Amino acid sequence: MRAEFSREAEPDAIVGAATWTGSGVEIVATDPKVRRALGRVYRPTSVLVDDPSVRSSGRAGPGLLAPGTVRWFVACTGARSRAEKLAFRLVPNAAPRMGWDPAGAYRTFGQQVERAERLASLSDESRSTAPASPA
């Protein structure tokens, strides 16, 4: 999963990006101020979300998402980027992957998305570290 950021006044000019790597967040920005702002967006702390799927049975109100999951990455992007005056768009990894089959739903849809993103980030890493073939 990748988040691309722009200034609110210029939504077409990308000023930085953050990629969820499966074990953390990789931030790319040429402007040091934007890089620091994205560092604050993705600081490794829990984020508060009002999502019923996070709550325990019989509970009401918002819940906490711990750092390290794709749900945390998406929640941080949505909750913290506004304070930094950054607009964003979420872009899925382009790596090929298998679709979700509801008949074989031993994982929830959210777990399947997180697994697919983790596998995609691992395949991206293996492609970038693979030795170049001789020409």
Print the SS3 string covering 45-70.
Answer: CCEEECCHHHCCCCCCCCEEECCCCH
Q: Is the pTM of this model over 0.85?
A: no
Question: What is the pLDDT at residue 126?
Answer: 59
Write down the domain spans for the chain.
2-94
Q: What is the pLDDT of residues 44-94, one digit of tens each?
A: 999 988 887 777 777 778 888 889 888 899 999 999 999 999 999 988 776
Question: What is the pLDDT at residue 125?
Answer: 61
Question: What is the pLDDT at residue 15?
Answer: 95
Q: How confident is the model at residue 112 (pLDDT cuts 50, 70, 90)?
A: confident
Q: How confident is the model at residue 133 (pLDDT cuts 50, 70, 90)?
A: very low
As a whole number of angstroms, the distance between CA 123 and CA 96 comes to: 10
Q: How confident is the model at residue 127 (pLDDT cuts 50, 70, 90)?
A: low
Give the other-Cβ count within 10 Å of 125's Cβ. 12
Q: What is the pLDDT of residues 15-38, one digit of tens each?
A: 999 998 887 899 999 999 999 999
Report the interhelical angle of 70-80 vs 109-129 (nearest 10°). 100
Q: How confident is the model at residue 123 (pLDDT cuts 50, 70, 90)?
A: low
